[in-house]
Structure 1
């Protein structure tokens, strides 16, 4: 990872020797590049399979069996091409459709199952990209949405049978814009072009009503028996320690209202706690949590997740947890990357070396996983955050909620990661300068090609609060991000973490960075054209 850090400090002699060797190596690299091309150094990675997106410890509940069978029967029906699954946030829609996708692919009902997250701010580019990666299909950077849709349509028509899962729909998305081949009346033509079906999930039944001709399958909360079984599984055998503790534990479980995401976060926080007083306090505290309105999120879920966050009772762990919401929804977060961000932002207390930071990071990750606020990604080196938990985390660090939390932390985030933005967003209207001092801004995985010379958002953060700025692009992006020399004007002294990875580095595009003398973490991993601009880093006190 091309990351620089203040933790690595050398004397002047050592620096001179290292720079001399670096210069010699750069000269040799340039000679090798001129003598041959290394555009392809390995075979393409195999496409992501739906089975690797499923929970390893998936548990089927009795109260879910009827909905599961209803969905599978609809998938087998030749006259059905679109199926809706609706239910409140945190009820388990995503987990269920992933498991069904894995089963129907294993049973050869479909030759291929692919999945994409739509989310609250639907953007066709990311949706097209997620589907393409699972097919697999490569897009060119220069291709627009329509060209990609046509290319995607041709690929889908060549598949004998395919199921496309579109998760977390908030508004009606025009499927014709994706060019997914559906509703073919001619059976011979359907057989020739392939069978394609779509399984969609949404929190709102109103979204389903806009397409009344398709099956709409409701996913309700867990039955009381299933909910208690899930609670016991996550809290441990301690819930049966005494009759009194079991009775209180059942009351706590009822406060979760049969919603799996609420159950696992609360039970995880109380796992193996044998003190009856702890359970009684938890019950009262959950009831007292002030509900917060978040679009599409049931307030009962908010109260349980928010209590689990408060129960951490450790500012360092809480701040680490909050920094995880800077990544896009359902993102595979690399633990090492989180370590660099938190080290740069000063999240860790009494940590001076990178090795100490790594050890502290692992301890914090284990704690958050045990509390079910984070869970393991595709390997031990990655973590993920449930979209509902991420919604709560973003609400904690967003105005005006964050202002009332300053006694616990001083974080105020602007999170626009993976929103498909093509230009820098100015500060939202209606937010006063008193609450505009963001400490972290995440614009990662967007399509912004140029930042403004002067911007009200950074000017409002000139009081020295902005510590983290994430501008990296998706690994598939081949576009350049231009940064004017005056862009960092108001945050020269405060910015400590900057991520510009996976960008094309053009002439003088790193020049604005040389004024950021307090940087502790700088990520330039995967940048192309870096060798021509690397000398700029010599101005930084790293």
Structure 2
């Protein structure tokens, strides 16, 4: 048995010679506090601007900072990208110790903006001393591969974003990380539990007021680095800020492409070589200039996850119906008056989310063909009664009865004698 003095703890504990003694430990994993029976937990926050500057200056050296008039301003831009994370400030400061040319500093800033901190720190030369390598301890010690996959997927959203927890949970269901559940409420409970694990491991930050979470920029960069096979395959996951990648090779080699809140107006042209496509996940949400998809998207036959929420698509994109491997399709908050007959080809679709789409026409028999469907969300459609309504509530309910795998339904049925559906809330059925 280990004795107190063997680990540097005076014995006996408590008052000795009039002195009170305490043991202080630090950890990235909150469950360690429970195992060590910690009496008081103190969360160490990231440094503020002044503290971050002092720490960074200490590591980079006054001589380097004062070597050129532009470097102090550039150094503050570097610090801003690191968001007060002490470990990143220390390792990056040491890496910039001998950089006295402003162009080297600007290059470092460019790399940081592209989530390539490992290249700034030259971590290939000193891998064990790099920020990513040391932060990866928390990732490696997560209790399951599912948690690790969930953490990596959080990096698919833009930096500095606060994301609703339910959005993460829907994503994890669509990506297949949450599989075993009898009711949709079970899936959401599982998702919230997974989020709590990531928060306790200091891998996510929580905004309790709005039920949101965010990922620190450096942790997001680390997640992308891991997803890129520790930086060796940068085309595996593509996260673009503004325009869609024009290089066709990227579209055929990437496994996930995320273009959230960008400025794209149309889907890029892709050569019709479906057999070479590896892309399984495509996120195009919040592209407010995107009103339609071209035939090119049909070349992405391996797609299983497609998020087109919050765009400006005015008709259901029939080109998507050729993507028969889709398991998740989200078209929330687009203006689409009707669903096409071709929708029935989605034999593998498990999650169909059509909130706030204004749909008032569904061809008879289409819903009944979606045999794999587990969640159908039609929240807040049919916002006004109109003479063009062509689908009776009774018909929809009959078709829903044919879906043996359906576990969640977002719908509220009003007076069926009015021959319309009045959607008021989206819950599980």
Q: Which residue of 1 aligns with 2:410?
A: none
| CA apart distance, 1:327 | 0.7
In the alignment, structure 1 residue 522 sits paired with structure 2 residue 313: no
Contact 2:52-2:79 within 8 A present in 1 as well:
no
| CA apart distance, 1:501 | 1.1
Other structure's SS at 2:237 match: strand
Q: Which residue of 2 aligns with 1:472?
A: 285
In the alignment, structure 1 residue 94 sits paired with structure 2 residue 89: no
Cα deviation 1:362-412 (Å, max 9, x = unaligned): 111111111111111474521111111111111111257578xxxxxxx98
Change (3 A) 1:421 1:379: farther
Structure of higher RCO (CA pairs closer than 8 Å, 6+ residues apart):
1
In the alignment, structure 1 residue 64 sits paired with structure 2 residue 51: yes
Given candidates 269, 283, 294, the residue that maps to 2:118 is: 294
Q: Which residue of 2 aligns with 1:497?
A: 305
Other structure's SS at 1:498 match: strand
Given candidates 331, 338, 349, the residue that maps to 2:161 is: 331
TM-score with structure 2 setting the length = 0.51
Other structure's SS at 1:295 match: helix
Cα deviation 1:138-192 (Å, max 9, x = unaligned): xxxxxxxxxxxxxxxxxxxxxxxxxxxxxxxx9xxxxxxxxxxxxxxxxxxxxxx
| CA apart distance, 1:326 | 0.7
Q: Which residue of 2 aligns with 1:482?
A: 292
Change (3 A) 1:357 1:536: same
Change (3 A) 1:64 1:402: closer
| CA apart distance, 1:351 | 3.4
Q: Which residue of 1 aligns with 2:314?
A: 506
Given candidates 145, 161, 170, the residue that maps to 1:315 is: 145
| CA apart distance, 1:516 | 3.0
- Provide the rounded CA distance (Å) in 2 between the counterparts of 1:357 and 1:90: 40
- Provide the rounded CA distance (Å) in 2 between the counterparts of 1:471 and 1:66: 37
Change (3 A) 1:59 1:374: closer
Contact 1:441-1:468 within 8 A present in 2 as well:
yes
How many residues are aligned here?
270
Other structure's SS at 1:530 match: coil
- Provide the rounded CA distance (Å) in 1 between the counterparts of 2:100 and 2:166: 39
Contact 1:376-1:383 within 8 A present in 2 as well:
yes
Q: Which residue of 2 aligns with 1:531?
A: 337
Cα deviation 1:490-513 (Å, max 9, x = unaligned): 42xx43321101211234x51112
Change (3 A) 1:440 1:92: closer
Unaligned runs of 5+ in 2: 1-42, 58-70, 86-91, 106-115, 124-129, 347-369, 374-429
Contact 1:420-1:446 within 8 A present in 2 as well:
yes
Contact 1:421-1:448 within 8 A present in 2 as well:
yes
| CA apart distance, 1:539 | 4.8
Contact 1:374-1:385 within 8 A present in 2 as well:
yes
- Provide the rounded CA distance (Å) in 1 between the counterparts of 2:255 and 2:277: 8
In the alignment, structure 1 residue 442 sits paired with structure 2 residue 258: yes
Cα deviation 1:206-238 (Å, max 9, x = unaligned): 6994699xxxxxxxxxxxxxxxxxxxxxxxxxx
Change (3 A) 1:303 1:351: same
| CA apart distance, 1:472 | 1.2
More helix as a share of residues: 1
Other structure's SS at 1:383 match: strand
| CA apart distance, 1:321 | 0.5
Contact 1:510-1:533 within 8 A present in 2 as well:
no
- Provide the rounded CA distance (Å) in 2 between the counterparts of 1:426 and 1:328: 23
Map 1:29-40 to 2 at 5 A.
none
Change (3 A) 1:488 1:211: closer
